[in-house]
Structure 1
Amino acid sequence: MAVMALWAWHIDRSPRALLAGSWDSDWYLRIAAHGYGRVLHWPDGAVQSDMAFFPLYPGLVRAVTAVLPVSGGTAGLLVSWTAAGAAAWGIHLVGERLHGRAVATTLVLLWGLLPHSIVLSMAYTEPLLTAFAAWSLYAVLTRRWLWAGVLAALAGASRPNGVAVAAAVGAAAVYELYRLLRDQRRTDWRIWAAAATAPAGWAGYLLWVGSRTGDLLGGYFAVQAGWTSRFDFGAGTVRFARTVATRPMDLGFTVSLVLTGVGVLLFALLVLDRPPLVVLVYTAVLVVIAVGGSGFFESKPRFLLPAFPLLLPLACALRKARPRAAIVVIAALAGLSFGYGTYLLTLATMAL
């Protein structure tokens, strides 16, 4: 963020305005200030409604402005920065639970140095989703089922891909119930409650949008289609990859394709490590949504920011590597992150 701010001042731009009001941030802050109801009609016939954006983040922004004498942009940054800190803490707990403290620290470091990690400092929802997701996964790993369900519901109210947390908690709950019944042991009502509560945030908002649009089950997906976002089982990703390979494209599009491919490779390595079911399902759903969805390909690396378990194989490898080699890798990743994050906010013309 400091590197970005220095460059922004150099080109006579406001770092705060870039962090608080770029791209989707503007939509969220408008919802926080005025509620839902904004619709844009474009000359090509596209219709973009603000109901594509989930309500928890703008709700928190509005709550902060009601308590503190700050603007919506400042409130958005306060929410995001707080959530990013909570996310780092939760990621560390998950990593420590699975592989020990040293790997956990490396995991947080890698997550904070991802090429798109500038998003974690913006008025965006990825920090909020990651925080709820990490703590929900930790709650499952430590058998705190009620907390897992509630946190999964909050994650589902944060972003569309928050459904990954509900799927992970639900899968873990089903497996735990199966194991108890197989061993002829008494089941715990908290597990049932977690499975029932986990999808409440995501499903509740979809049904609300459906009631507003007159199509209870399909209304939200119709709204997303107006943003060219739909799940096509990867057909759009294949077409985009072909386009990038056959004609010149902006740097951001090429980097997004490379980073998405790296995400798929890291997922394969994670599968080989055989992580707990809740971690595997959560990561798998995020990867499937990112790769299988069409529209705004340049945003796919951002969609994978909450998929922090993808970095577990790399974190384990770095802890086993020689210190000098690990330092070189971390320094190279830091340089890429600082430079590319600055590019995304100050030079790139594509949506983030």
Structure 2
Amino acid sequence: MAGQDHDGASRLVAMAWGLAAAPQRGPRRELNHERIVEAAIEIADAEGLAAVTMQRVARAFDFTTMALYRYVSSKDDLQRLMLDGIAAGETWAVDDEDWRAGLEQWTRIMVGCYRSHPWSLDIPLARETLLMPGQVRAVDAGMRAMRSLPATAGDKLGVLMLLAVNARGFASLGREMAREEADDVLATRHLLQEIVADGRFPDAQAVIESGAYFGNEGPDGRDADDAEDVTVALSLLMPGIERAFEGDRRAQERAAAPADPARDPEQALAAAEADLASVIALRKATQRRARDLEKREGRVRADRDRAKVRAKETAKEAAKAVAKKASHEE
């Protein structure tokens, strides 16, 4: 593929796929766009997207800004490569036998990706970005998660768009809610609760007064677990997706249609390798989850044991009090 003629194709997309020729001249011929993108992501993770300038990235490699332009033609291109880079860095471990579980895992990976790199939400989505390897890998994982869903490829792509929009929206909202704008967050929330108490907003009053309007907040007024919002959203979306296809007359035709295009032996081997890598990633993710649950079980069990001891002590004290009262009455 690298030797094929790609005249007319986007140089940025070809670069993302490793098909664009490296510059013939440069301070370091061994440098490539992957290393440049990695450095840019490190800067963004540490200091935010605004800190990522061509000059700053060039300085990370100890060469001039003009030299960097030989590899990446603009700051916009660099940001698009960064956005694709964080998607390419995910393992995308999803269940391919239960589409509900698979799509839930896929959505949580999407949300987690944005939350790990919140600056990515500031990069506008572009058509070219969707053609890059990280995004194609994400789509491939999503389609793999829906192998058991009786739907056409177009329908499945629509489901992924729905979930992707929700994932980006939840991550964006979570970031905005988490911003430390002032020290009087709780006071401001109490102010709003007092305002709605006069009945001007009768249908919103209950949810605001209960505190649910502000999220699941901790003692300092910040969200304690905004993942709960994603759980609620998925619990609402999944039944809708299922119902959209369960009564469709084309469902059987979809399910009976060939799942894979015709492949030559080399393509079949590549697909088999991808399947194996996916299963291994899912197995490792499941094992990590199991270990986390074992640790959680230990903490919960310890809490239960302490509660049991307190309950026994309380029961003994109560029994003593009853016995003492009875002896006094005698």
TM-score relative to the length of structure 2? 0.24
Structure whose CA Rg is larger:
2
> If the length of structure 1 is used for normalisation, what is the TM-score?
0.23
Higher relative contact order (CA 8 A, sep 6+): 1
